[in-house]
Structure 1
Amino acid sequence: MQDRTVAHSPAGIEVVGTNKVLKNTYMLLAMTLAFSAFTAFLARGAAPLNPWVFLGGFIGLSFLAQMLANSAWGLLAVFGFTGFVGYAIGPLIGALTQSSVGSELVMQALGGTAVIFLGLSAYAITTKKDFSFLAGFITAGAIVLLLGVVAVLVFKMPALHLALSAGFMLFSSALILFQTGQIVNGGERNYILATITLYASIYNLFISLLHILMALSGDD
């Protein structure tokens, strides 16, 4: 009788709601990551996308998925976005895995990404800290990094590219803490929006770490 009362109390309902959003987010995230891996596999022998096409597609499809997050088309938009990203990085992964050194770099980037994401997520979930104070940093960081991406595409500066990769790793780590904290503390109740944010963070972590490893190995 006591357990039933707690479950129907406002605090109990809030906990149930939080757990549901967290569960749905990680389920959808796992599915979209698997779908991205599948489309990357299909594109392993394709010609690389033009960087401007990729940038436009990444931003456009992510915004579309966010706009449709509260409708029945939200899930389809999420898979469209993540499938596009997977297809876009397929040629790079395919080229790297042609050699043992490249395959090792990919595995190191995947492992590092997994460790960072799982570690930060576990920290945010177990401590239940409020990371709302990162909102300003994330907003400013997004603007600076977007300008940095444009600068790299225009001026082709390897040093700036490396610095940008490091910046994206820091930005993505902050975004993972912020978004997970929002879910845990009841600030995010739309698991589609949460999935988009976490997926983009994982992608940026992986590709940035891969670029840094390639630069250090002399393959960049």
Structure 2
Amino acid sequence: MRTTRQDPYSAVSRQESVLASNKVLRNTYGLLALTLMWAAGVAGVAMMMNLPHPGMLVTLAGFFGLLFLTHKTADSAWGLLSVFAFTGFLGYTAGPIVNAYVSGMANGGELVMMALGGTGAIFLGLSAYVLTTKKDFTFMGGFLFVGIITAFLAGLAAVIFQMPALSLAVSGMFVLLMSGLILFETSRIVNGGETNYIHATVSLFVSIYNLFLSLLHLLGFAND
């Protein structure tokens, strides 16, 4: 009977790949937790000071500008500073939005907590599924890219032309797309497709941020 011998170099290579993926995963979740707390703190300060929303143009310029800066510096020590600048800015933009729900609706605080709970449940559930099954969801990349661009342009149209129905549809689209992005990015980390934890953190943070605001919009509409 003929037996096959396992290549020791191949086994070592696989082990090193697993260790590298686990390291990226730990660093990503650690940095993600810090940035979420930082953004929540900035949002809380913005709410206490009753700061106004910066507006669509400033929000878009700050988002894409700081996102570009973060990706350009992701391989250097400046990457961490860029991440906190980016997430802090998003926290500031979220503060006035949350404040509008809390102060403008009788049960606004409950809606915010429900949106937070739903966001946490979706993120933890999807992440746990990928970590447990190790399934590869990277095939969703092209679909997610097209879907996000389409939803983004539709969202701009809803704001410019003041179309509440379209805005509601965009929020529903973003809930699905951000859920898919969580599966996609977590899968890339687990399977070794993402080796930079700063890139991974930014992707997951943006997913959580958009997921929370989209759920809050849907809950507010249902309540109204």
CA RMSD between the two structures = 1.6
Q: Which residue of 1 aligns with 2:4?
A: none
Q: CA shift at 1:94, angstroms?
A: 2.5
For 2:106 and 2:29, how far apart are their aligned partners in 1? Answer: 32
For 1:22 and 1:76, how far apart are their aligned partners in 2? Answer: 20
For 2:149 and 2:207, how far apart are their aligned partners in 1? Answer: 15
Structure 2 residue 67 is matched with structure 1 residue 62: yes
Residue segments in structure 1 that go unaligned for 5+ positions in a row: none
1:153-168 pair list within 5 angstroms: 153-168=159-174
Q: Which residue of 1 aligns with 2:79?
A: 74
1:37-48 pair list within 5 angstroms: 37-44=40-47, 45-48=50-53
For 2:162 and 2:102, how far apart are their aligned partners in 1? Answer: 25
1:67-216 pair list within 5 angstroms: 67-98=72-103, 101-216=107-222
Moved >3 Å (runs of 4+): none
Q: Which residue of 2 aligns with 1:50?
A: 55
Q: CA shift at 1:141, angstroms?
A: 1.0
For 1:52 and 1:215, how far apart are their aligned partners in 2? Answer: 25
Q: Which residue of 2 aligns with 1:29?
A: 32
For 1:195 and 1:12, how far apart are their aligned partners in 2? Answer: 24
For 1:127 and 1:188, how far apart are their aligned partners in 2? Answer: 18
TM-score if structure 2 supplies the norm length? 0.91
Letter in 1 for 2:220: M
User: Which of 9, 13, 30 does residue 12 from structure 2 map onto?
Assistant: 9
Report the 3-state secondary structure (helix = DSSP H, G, I; strand = E; otherwise coil) of the residue aligned with 1:156.
coil
Residue segments in structure 2 that go unaligned for 5+ positions in a row: 1-7
TM-score if structure 1 supplies the norm length? 0.93
For 1:92 and 1:134, how far apart are their aligned partners in 2? Answer: 31
Higher-Rg structure is: 2
Q: Identity percentage over the alignment?
A: 53
Q: CA shift at 1:163, angstroms?
A: 0.2
Letter in 1 for 2:187: G
In the alignment of these two chains, the number of paired residues is 213
For 1:74 and 1:94, how far apart are their aligned partners in 2? Answer: 30
Q: CA shift at 1:95, angstroms?
A: 3.3
For 1:149 and 1:74, how far apart are their aligned partners in 2? Answer: 30
Q: CA shift at 1:100, angstroms?
A: 5.2
